[in-house]
Amino acid sequence: GDEVMFVHADEIIARIMAQSGRQSGLAVILSSLLSFRDDEIYFKLERALFGRTFHEALFSYEKCS
């Protein structure tokens, strides 16, 4: 829309750094979430899912993420 949201980056970064120092492993998680590495999305035409609801399609495969 026409709205603008200002983000106080200094404050957010300071909070992230403080929490990363307090929580073991948090830095690794945040680094993964905020990086552009491994951010690929692949699309595949899957005829077996035609006519199914999103919920049905979501649980059609055991090994997916």
For residue range 46-63, what is the model confidence (pLDDT) as tens digits?
A: 898 999 998 888 888 887
**Phi-psi domain of 38 (left: phi exceeds 0; alpha: psi -120 through 50; beta: other):** left
pLDDT tens digit string along 25-52?
Answer: 888 888 888 888 877 777 888 898 999 9
Max Cα-Cα span within the chain: 49
Q: Where are the alpha helices (DSSP H) in 24-64?
A: 26-34, 54-58
SS3 44: coil
Q: How far is CA 18 from CA 1, 13, 27, in A?
A: 34, 9, 10
3-state SS class at 36 = coil
pLDDT at 1 over 70: no
